[in-house]
A and B are shown apart, each in its own frame.
Chain A
Amino acid sequence: MTDLYQTQRAMRNMRRAAMQRGVIAILDIGTTKIACLVLRFDGPALTDSDQVGPMAGQSAFRVIGAATTRSRGVRFGEIAQMNETEKAIRTVAQAAQKMANVRVDHVIACFSGADPRSYGLAGDLDLEDSVVTEQDIARVMAACEAPDIGDGRDVLHAQPVNFAIDHRTGLGDPRGQIGNRLACDMHLLSVDGAVVQNLLYCIKRCDLELAGIASSAYVSGVSSLVEDEQELGAACIDMGGGTTGISIFMKKHMIYADSVRMGGDHITSDISKGLQVPLAVAERIKTMNGGVYATGMDDREMIDIRGDSGDWEKDRRQVSRTELIGIMRPRVEEILEETRARLDAAGFESLPSQQIVLTGGGSQIPGLDGLAARILGQRVRLGRPLRVQGLPQATTGPAFSSAVGLCLFAAHPQDEWWDFDIPSDRYAAKPMRKVMKWFKDNW
């Protein structure tokens, strides 16, 4: 745990260095596409003027390079073939740098897979002298009982969500407050360590340095939930290619994240299997003609399945849109029902507000909001990422919500466990113990 803590701290330092240099890259490694944005940080953020209120840090930077490419070697949001993924990362990194006309050394990456698991942690301690100091916060976080996150798993996020002093809870920043007992709730997200290692290796192979790493469910929630949704409680469902990420926000903190290992690629493969067409054709048909609600009109709308098999009969087939919807809908329902199950497991119904925001490339299926409303509850909307300066029009769709969220994450990261001081007693414990041992052994 400590070495990961050190790694995360090193990444934070790297991010600070990148901020000083003013240029940082964003890498969203998805199952269907890899997107790379180059951000330039120039000058301090816009302070609130008449028109512009305090923003979520997106006025501090500007997107100067953007590139996206078809993902290769990624399955379920995890790197399956390293050299293929490395090539894809090289492609986007090169294109984005070319557009930005600047060399980027630091990159912040996000990925969707790796089986994220959420843990709620709680810890408390008696304050030494009634006033809460930084050291007390570090100690109360160290006092949180570490769950058994399993073998070979790493902590991706560990964010203090809530502080309580005596019986006052819901404190964002308890420093300087007076009380006897300080309690802390922490949200910890663990992922499969091997996936992170693969990602690190791929990025290192591209001569880039990792300045941060995030879960894409989290960052797409950051970008597509509006402020009051984040405050009152909402779930963001990022319907990606290989996985569907779920993140629940409350009081502007992520309190739960999970992912369903199903996504748009499964719909495509269903179409491919059902219509006996190659995956590329199935993808095209899905994007151009897909839907989840069939109407009488759709019976008459015939879709040409072009092909180049050489068999005239096979290449001239036509299907009605109703048939296509009939293939797609069960899979979409399955994804949404699985999502519903995850939300139920997380206790989403106990939140005060149960807003659900659908985002990600998969959310662009026509009629999805109606279907989702039937399965997930009435308060469903389709979310698009926040607008950021300089982002090309082509990359403002919901498919880029995690990339945009990662920009916001880069500009204004949430305090994590490793951003706080190391508790001083733990810091000194090991050397002191060594000295004691030496005395015991030699005297």
Chain B
Amino acid sequence: MQPLNRHANRAGRRDPAPSRWSYRMQRLWLTPVFRVLFRFGLPVFVVFGAIGLYLQDDTRRAALAQTFIDLREDFQARPEFRVSLVSIEGASPELADAIRARLNLTLPQSSFDIDLAAARARIEDLDAVEVAELKVRTGGVLQVDITERTPVMLWRTADRIDMLDAGGFRVASLTARSDRPDLPLIAGEGADVAADEAMAILAAASPLEARIRGLVRMGARRWDIVLDRDQRILLPAENPVAAVERLLALDQVQDILARDIAAIDLRIAARPVLRLTPHAQLQIRRAQGLEPPESEL
């Protein structure tokens, strides 16, 4: 007789015990090192292996690099990034031309290809340019904002005349003094280095402006003011502005500069020294009776 219920009818009950291999497998899975290796190490290995295998071939590598370069170039060559115009502001027309020549850009060009830092350095190499600011504006315009150097004095050297700005930096050359009669003149070795001092002296000596012909740097150390009638004022190396102010006070009181004097030596502050012209000397000696009076003949 057959058993009636269906559980007994089955061919043997399922063995609940795991097989040796499934038991081992489960233990392996519970091993921390194995889990880390399998979950992290294996994917990394596979990915890197696949990439390595793919890149083993030179031509593939080159093709990949070329694809990347092409993509980049396509992107950079888009019209949005194209610069077709240079706009220079804050420069005189001659300087603007010089800057254009100096920039030397073949337009239109992609803004990625323009090395703004180098272009700026190139522009700032120009003596007449103090500061240059470059930026690529919308609409494909390369905006160049220029701050020009303003010449405040002339520096005469043996072979030429240079215009200097307030810092003593060369702005441009002149062919003749008469091109810029409005600017004061300085001369002498190292005069450009001490240009700010020269400016201060000139400012202090402004009452004499009509008479000043220029300043001469003596021995790259101190200044001489050269006036017309070949008069010279020798200023000390230290604190020349104070000396000028003293001289002006002296001049105001005694009208010293109007006299027949070749030079006023202010190098020692406590003891100004006057050098007379030979004619004046003679006159003094005569007045003192040391010299026979000039014959009426």
Contact = CB atoms under 8 A, between A and B. Distances in A.
A331 interface: no
Given A310-B1, A310-B3, A90 B18 contact: yes
A87 B23 CA distance: 10
Q: State the majority secondary structure of interface residues on B.
A: loop
Nearest to A87: B17
A108 B27 CA distance: 18
Contacts of A87: 15, 17
B16 interface: yes
Interface string A310-343: 1100000000000000000000000000000000
A69 B24 CA distance: 19
B254 interface: no
B18 A69 contact: no
A207 to B, nearest CB: 7
Interface stretch (A96-104, A147-155, A295-303, A345-353): A96-104
B18 A308 contact: no
B26 to A, nearest CB: 6
A91 interface: yes
B18 A103 contact: no
B4 A93 contact: no
A310 B27 contact: no
B279 interface: no
Contacts of A90: 17-18, 20, 23
Interface string B61-89: 00000000000000000000000000000
Interface residues of A, number: 18
A25 to B, nearest CB: 12
A207 B24 contact: yes
A88 interface: yes
Interface in A85-126: 87-88, 90-91, 93-94, 97-98, 101-103
Interface residues of B, number: 18
Contact of A103 (B15, B20, B31): B31
Given A103-B31, A308-B8, A94 B1 contact: no
Interface string A15-30: 0000000000000000
A280 to B, nearest CB: 11
B30 interface: yes
A94 B18 contact: yes
Given A101-B30, A103-B30, A103-B31, A310 B2 contact: yes
Contacts of B23: 90, 93-94, 206-207
B1 A91 contact: no
A26 B32 CA distance: 21
Interface in B38-77: none
A353 B16 CA distance: 46
A206 B1 CA distance: 42
Q: By CB atoms of chain B within 10 A, which of A88, A90, A97, A102 has the most?
A: A90
A20 B40 CA distance: 27
Contact of B4 (A91, A102, A207, A310): A310
A69 B16 contact: yes
Interface in A54-110: 69, 87-88, 90-91, 93-94, 97-98, 101-103
B26 A98 contact: yes
B211 to A, nearest CB: 101
Contacts of A103: 27, 30-32
A90 B24 CA distance: 10
A19 B139 CA distance: 76
B288 interface: no
B5 interface: yes
Nearest to B35: A103
B31 A308 contact: no
B30 A102 contact: yes
A88 B17 contact: yes
B3 A308 contact: yes
A230 to B, nearest CB: 37
Contacts of B31: 103
A93 B4 CA distance: 36
A168 B105 CA distance: 112
Nearest to A98: B26
A126 B258 CA distance: 137
A310 B20 CA distance: 38
Contacts of B15: 87
Contacts of A308: 3-5, 8
Contact of A94 (B5, B8, B26, B32): B26
A308 B6 CA distance: 10
Nearest to B23: A90
A292 B15 CA distance: 35
Nearest to B4: A310
A91 B17 contact: yes
Nearest to A208: B27
Given A308-B3, A310-B2, A91 B27 contact: no
A308 B32 CA distance: 49
Contacts of B5: 308
A83 B293 CA distance: 155
A88 B15 CA distance: 10
Contacts of B27: 97, 103, 207
8 contacts: A87-B15, A90-B17, A97-B30, A102-B30, A206-B23, A207-B24, A310-B2, A311-B1
Given A94-B18, A310-B1, 6 more contacts: A90-B17, A97-B27, A98-B26, A308-B3, A309-B1, A309-B3
The 9 closest A-B pairs by CB, nearest first: A87-B17, A103-B30, A91-B17, A310-B1, A90-B23, A308-B5, A94-B18, A103-B31, A308-B3
